[in-house]
Structure 1
Amino acid sequence: MRILGYLDHPILKITVFKTDTRLSIKFENSNFEQTYKFRPTEQTNSLKELQKLVDETFVNQVMTLFQQMEQNFEVSFQRNFPEAEDDDFPAII
């Protein structure tokens, strides 16, 4: 696998990877990542063409999924580690 390139975004790190048989687009925010893997086609053969695929609507859907991932994690953390809320650390001023 090699890095084909990066797509510019103000919040997310978007990396495009290529293998002999697959392309992958990885989206990363500060805590989570999403990876979309697919076979290359004539329309998705280059980094420039992949920039068309990763349009504003696609990125908005990715961001919505990141929000859901963060909520899922937070709910699970609170459910499984409720005592973590009651730490006895002094307040730092």
Structure 2
Amino acid sequence: MRQLAVIPHPDAKITLFSWNGKYLIKLEKGPFEQTYKVSELDLTSEDDVHTLLDEEFIGSAVQRFRLMQQDLQAAFDRHGI
């Protein structure tokens, strides 16, 4: 796996990788991460990946991080951990 870029954003760490014919878009926030795999054949260049990472996409991912935290906390609460 080859790291292509770290894309600065205030709400999440975003890292772009190339691996096995795919671009991997990895977003991290605290203990959570989301990875999106996009075939290199679906895009014309790495620049297309940057285009995909618009504010709407990132905003949805950040909201998903909040939901992930809620899901984990609910599981802890259900089991008294």
1:88 corresponds in structure 2 to none
- Indicate yes or no: 2:36 matched with 1:39: no
2:19 corresponds in structure 1 to 19
What RMSD over aligned residues (CA atoms) do the two structures have, in Å? 1.5
Compute the displacement of 1:70 (Å): 0.4
User: Identity over aligned residues, as a percent?
Assistant: 35
Contact 2:4 2:18 in 1 (8 A): yes
The structure that has the greater radius of gyration is: 1
Compute the displacement of 1:3 (Å): 0.2
- CA distance in structure 2 between the aligned counterparts of 1:3 and 1:61, rounded to whole angstroms: 24
- CA distance in structure 2 between the aligned counterparts of 1:52 and 1:38, rounded to whole angstroms: 13
2:52 corresponds in structure 1 to 53
Q: Tell me, which stretches of 5 or more residues in structure 2 are unaligned?
A: none
- CA distance in structure 2 between the aligned counterparts of 1:12 and 1:60, rounded to whole angstroms: 10
Q: Tell me, which stretches of 5 or more residues in structure 1 are unaligned?
A: 85-93
Secondary structure at 1:50 match in 2: helix
Amino acid at match of 1:51: H
2:3 corresponds in structure 1 to 3
1:71 corresponds in structure 2 to 70
Higher RCO (CA < 8 A, seq sep 6+)? 2
The number of equivalent residue pairs is: 81
Compute the displacement of 1:45 (Å): 1.8
Compute the displacement of 1:19 (Å): 1.6
Instruction: String of CA shifts for 1:14-42, please: whole Å, max 9, x gaps.
Output: 00010241110000001200000120136
